[in-house]
Copies of this chain bind each other. A is one copy, B any other.
Amino acid sequence: MLRIGMLTSGGDCQALNAAMRGVVKGICSKRDDVEIYGFQEGYKGLIYSNFKMLTSRDFSGILTIGGTILGTSRQPFKLMRVPDENGLDKVEAMKHTYHKLNLDCLVVLGGNGTHKTANMLREEGLNVITLPKTIDNDLWGTDMTFGFQSAVDIATDTIDRIHTTATSHSRVFIIEVMGHKVGWVTLHAGIAGGADIILLPEIPYDIDVVVEAINKRKAAGKKFTIIAVAEGAISREDAKLSKKELKEKKAKQKYPSVAYEISERIQKKTDQEVRITVPGHTQRGGSPCAYDRVLATRLGAAAAEAILDGDFGCMVAVKNRDIVRVPLSEVAGKLKYVDPESDIVREAKMTGISFGDK
């Protein structure tokens, strides 16, 4: 008998169900004696032994469905070693659940924080295999995460819609795109949507350069300017502050989000009306795009192969055009940033996009 535990953790994204379906269908194509334990709402389900027994049938027909049939929750890594309100040691509780159920393997679908905990569980002796899930595409060790392309599609669609209304009025439009501390979604959606200015966490912006780009467009007779801003975008002066100083400054300013701050700064320095659009959680929702469905299905099936091989302690990842296994120890705790000197940024600049960095 093969006993597989499975959980989805962190912010949800598209293709979680597709990936789990790939894992389960993959295993069941080779083995008949399989038990699937679906832990509810991420690591919480593992801690409190809250699970459902699932069969291959439960994963049929979910390829195209957004969200996760297991539910998810955020369980910060740094609190994992802190006992819960009843004094329960969470790490020990997770190990206890794992051993009590006699699991052969735990499949974890998640992003950055999730991988830190997964690696810790590996260090604690559990057989862990992970899948790179996040719209942010910020996971070290994989070229691509599932959820990313779907989020890019939605953010691009937002920019497309704003384009038509922008051409009607003479305005500056700011679209704030998700991505946590990195700029991947914004960079791709910005290029795809034909944004005039793209502001990323990795390339601190100079507000005067931004304003200059706006004015230059106006002078050239262009009626509008579209700015794609990553939620983690940062100005050159803020980038020089310590983490603590920055936190205090932001707390004082009370902007609902970064787009509001940039809007105010632009309006102070130009005579242009500015409008803000924040697609927000829609970027995590809906049916995954075809690209993500293929990617998640492939990663899921490849994870099944790793399980059948007994090859644990790894993230199943994308390297160039191949699916590979990357040791969890190499992945945990590292972020994959946009390189300001990369080809894609240089090419984007050649098409006239300003990154606010002169």
Contact, CB under 8 Å: A66 / B161: yes
Contact, CB under 8 Å: A154 / B161: yes
Which of B16, B61, B165, B278 makes the CB contact (< 8 A) with A66? B165
Q: Is A235 an interface residue (CB 8 A)?
A: no
Please indicate the chain B residues that have their CB under 8 angstroms from the CB of A8 in the complex. 168
Known: A349-B29, A350-B26, A351-B29. A280 touches B290 (CB 8 A): no
Known: A21-B351, A192-B294. A280 touches B277 (CB 8 A): yes
CA distance A253 to B193 in the complex (A): 36
CA distance A85 to B344 in the complex (A): 47
Sorting the interface of chain A by its residue count into under 10, 10 to 19, 20 to 34 or 35 or more gives 35 or more
A155-210: which residues lie under 8 A (CB-CB) from chain B? Answer: 156-158, 160-170, 173, 188-189, 191-194
Q: Is A92 an interface residue (CB 8 A)?
A: no
Interface segment among A113-121, A122-130, A242-250, A319-327: the answer is A319-327
Known: A160-B286, A290-B149. A12 touches B71 (CB 8 A): no
Among all A-B residue pairs, the 10 with the closest Cβ atoms: A66-B164, A161-B285, A12-B168, A320-B320, A301-B347, A192-B290, A67-B164, A156-B290, A192-B293, A161-B286
Could you tell me which A residues sit within 8 Å of B by CB distance?
Answer: 8, 12, 14, 16, 21-22, 25-26, 29-30, 41, 61, 63-68, 71-73, 143, 149, 152-154, 156-158, 160-170, 173, 188-189, 191-194, 223, 256, 260, 275-282, 284-287, 289-291, 293-294, 297-298, 300-302, 304-305, 320-323, 343-344, 346-352
